[in-house]
Each structure stands twice: as C-alpha cells, then as structure tokens.
Amino acid sequence: MPKNIYLDNQSTTKIDSDVLEAMLPYFSEKYGNASSSEHIFGWESNDGIEEARVTIANSIKAKPEDIIFTSGATESNNMLIRGLIDYSADQPVHVITTETEHKCILEALKRNAPFIEFTIIPVTTEGIVDIDAIRKAIRKNTVLVSVIFANNEIGSINPIKEIGKICLEHSIAFHTDAAQAMGKLDINVDEYHIDFLSASAHKIYGPKGVGLLYIRRTKGKCKIIPLMFGGGQENGIRSGTLNTPGIIGFAKAIKKSEEEFETRFWKYLSLRNHLYYSLIERFSFIQLNGTNIESIDLLKSKYSSAREASKHIQRLPNNLNISFNGIPSLELMKNIKTIAVSSGAACSSNKQEASHVLQALQLSNLLIHSSIRFGIGHQNTIEEIEETISKFGLTLEKYI
C-alpha cells in the first residue's frame, strides 16, 4: 500500500506523543473534577490546570489570571462577540473586522446584526488588511477591532502591532484570532497591545476540543458577559467542568513549541520553500496566493534567531496556497488520494462554495477553484515533500 502523507496541518495536527503522554494520567489516575475542592483528586486536577495556565500565559507574555479555557477558538470568538454585545446592550456598538477573518467571526457578527453595527475592511491582493482603512472606519461607538493574526487559508500575516497601536490611541479593544499563529510566530500581548486573543490546541500538535480566550481584564473597556452560567468556573466567564486532560495537553504542546521554536521554524520554511520552488520550476503556470515566499538565506542574514525572524515575515512559515491555472483542485486531489491537502478552509470543505478568503483577493473563479493549500507540519520529512512533488508533477503533466 502507498504511504499516506499528511499536509493539511492548518486544518488540524497530529497530537504529539509527549503531549499524549502528559495527558494520560489525567484520564486514569488524576481524574478528579478540578472544581472539587474538598479532596485530593480535585486538588490534583486543579494544580495541573493552574500550572498549565501559567505555561500558556507565559508563551504570550500574559498574566495567568487572564487566560480563560474554552473548547477552542471558535467558541472563544463567539464568546467575545456575543459577550460584548450583551455587555453593551443599553447602547449601540460598532465592531471593525476584515474580509478574510475566519468564518466564525464573520458569521457571529452577521447573526447578531440586529444588535450590533460592523464594518468589514477589505484586504490587499496579498491578503493584508489596510491599516488606513481601519483608521477611517473608527466611529464614536466603535468598541472592538478584530483582525486575524495569520490567515488560515493563505497564511498572510497582518500588521498586528501597528493595529494594536491604533486601537490603543483610540481606547478601543483589540482582538486577534491567533489559532494559526500560536506556536509558529512570536506573540507578545503587551508589545502588540492585544486585549483579546483566541487560540486552539489542535493547531499546535495538541488535543482537539480545548482552546483559550485571553482577556485583558485590567481595563474597563474589555468586559464581556458570560454566555454560559452554572458553576462559575474560569472566574465566572465560562461555566462548566474543565477539560483537565485537554488543558494539560494544550500546555505541553505550547511548551514543546516554545522549546523547539528555532528548529521548527526553519524546518517549516525549508520544506515549504522546497515544495514551492520545485513545483514552480516545472510548471510556470502555477500562481501563488497570498504574500511572497521568504528567502531563508535572507532571513538568516538579517535576524539573529528564528523568533526574531518570525516578527518580520508576512506569511506563515508552513503555509503554501497555490492555484493551478484552471485545473480543478478537487479533481487533482481525487487523483492523488494518498496526499492530504485542502482546497479551502477545512471547516467548510464539505460545501461546494468559493473560498471567501480567495474571493477577497479578487481572484477569478478559475483560480479559486484550482487552488490547493499545503500545510507543512514539523513532523513532515523531506522524503514526504519529494514524494508530493513527484506525485503532483506526474498528475499535472496529464493536463498540459
């Protein structure tokens, strides 16, 4: 049987063996409810969660008490939008966001349209938000700017620090969906003036079903009303029994991404760049979607470390989104069943509709429907990339 190759790591990732090992005791030995404060089983779970909270907070330079655990970035984003609306129910509020946000942000705003005003800012043909357009969109009742850190389809990285400064100047809360950026880019909530941040564990080799919402609760402008009520867990923001094994796994995944940041970053770039340049050399009709591919040599000559380099790139190091000049992507994927890639955002791949992100880049339908996203993982090998180049090459030659 031919070997299956997984290159859909922007959709989800394979759980790291060390992460799984860290989680296991919390299924079978330390299985108490973290809210059970009367006995050792509850104490053990609570201690594990609080240690995890510190680890995760440190990774984004936040305070541990400002980390709220959720089921993932989708819940976090909905919690933020709905919570802010409820908090501001006595007055009309305005939110600014972009065309290329994750569907959960855009849908949450549209579903709550009777209770909220919002402006959707266009992006450049490379998928970067226009900062001046954000400035011009600010109103007296603007309470939130929400801009994705790094796009889940095309990998484009927005100027988060500059947007944070604008929000700070106007006393507006700033939120970023960092689900794709966490573990791959340097994130500092103070340096970037971030008030809210969402993330998911399963994007960084952790378990599914757990994520976070960072809330800078030291500022009066950043208050939300809880969506769920009950036991008052997570400082009353998100009631419900905590997913202890998942939280432990999330922290371990974060810790490993921090420890291996240097190695992973350059590996992502090396494998991604080799894949892209090998394909473009053979098939000049291929079009790159999103920002340019960075040169590894240039980055290493300009910056002293991977972490420093990650502050200056404009595309996720593991992302490649390309169009095959009218060759249907779904047809390509059916012909290369042993390689897992994506033709668009994974959570909407079961629907035959054009990607709203690629539409925002003003691509033609021909290019949109012939696009494929490759998501490189740190567990991928050069042999797998070579096999991918070979199989795509053989298949593409049938069309030319």
Dist CA 288 CA 291 (whole Å): 8
Dist CA 139 CA 95 (whole Å): 9
Q: Residue 306 in contact with residue 261, Cβ under 8 Å? A: yes
- Chain centroid offset of residue 65 CA: 22
Q: Residue 366 in contact with residue 33, Cβ under 8 Å? A: no
- Chain centroid offset of residue 252 CA: 18
Q: Residue 51 in contact with residue 251, Cβ under 8 Å? A: yes
Active site residues: 347
What 3-state class would DSSP assign to 260?
coil
Q: Which contacts of 44-47 are long-range, i.e. CB under 8 A and separated by 24 or more positions?
A: 45/242, 45/244
First to last CA, the chain: 28
157 has which bridge partners? Answer: 150
Dist CA 13 CA 22 (whole Å): 17
Nearest in space to 150 (alpha carbons), one of 318, 381, 280: 318
Q: Residue 167 in contact with residue 196, Cβ under 8 Å? A: no
Element (H, E) at 371: strand 371-375
Residue 284 makes CB contacts below 8 A (sequence gap 6+) with none
